[in-house]
Structure 1
Amino acid sequence: MWKCPKCGRSFKNTNQDHYCGSVATIDDYIAAQAEDVQPLLRQIRETIRAAAPNAKEKVSWQMPTFWQGENLIHFAAARKHIGIYPGGQAVGVFSERLKDYKTSKGAIQLPLGKPIDYELIADITRWRVQQLEEDQK
């Protein structure tokens, strides 16, 4: 077991990648990330905001989150990628466009060092908004 010297949490793997600390706003979250990742996170935030103009911003599960009656989409920085978390159905619906990315149920990894497909993020977000609106009818 490895214990993070900063937050005190214990992990199975030494130097386990995790976020320690608590943030109140998305601005706080972005400011706490590596300088080279901050512009990417800001652009992802703006992309999601434009695609979901009625969604509210908040921090949930220690990640920037857009909320529209329920969690619409989260995003977060990791050591080697930026994670987008739109839920399990989105990964299936967009599977053809996601074939070059590592995915798991509800998660998409956008590798750092490669161009980010902001239009894909916008399309997934718009799909999630449409899905939520249909569920509310």
Structure 2
Amino acid sequence: MDDLLYLFVRANKLIHTAADEAMSRHGVRVGQNRVLAALWERDGLTPGEVAARVHLSTPTVVNTATRMEEAGLLTRVRDPDDGRLVRLHLTERGLAAREPVEEERRRLMERATATLTDEERRHLQSALTKIVDRLS
């Protein structure tokens, strides 16, 4: 089992590094792509709503949104109906990042699983889903 844990950690680090390199070519850091994906699906979410969708803590999303705002990917707008809430809205730059970021993600997954058969990919996805569900 120690060997399996080592492989999980090693694979995670390698994928994380490769994803960060790929995303940074488009002005996006790894992790920010998850916030972007939530906002591409539904713009104007609160940090708490984004956090629930991407399985992160709200403070993590707030910190990420701060860096994303500085990078020009999104803006924060006070909710007109509830001044206590802040809503995250994509900028033109955030919207324009969608296609290249999604293409980078697709290429990375192709590269990472290139030596797997379709059946092995399905088994890997199933096994990882079970592990995530068990540990969540």
Could you state the TM-score of these two structures normalised by the residue count of structure 2? 0.27
Query: Using CA pairs below 8 Å that are at least 6 residues apart, which structure has the higher relative contact order?
Result: 2
Could you state the TM-score of these two structures normalised by the residue count of structure 1? 0.27
Q: Which has the higher strand share?
A: 1
Q: Specify the structure having the higher radius of gyration (Cα).
A: 2
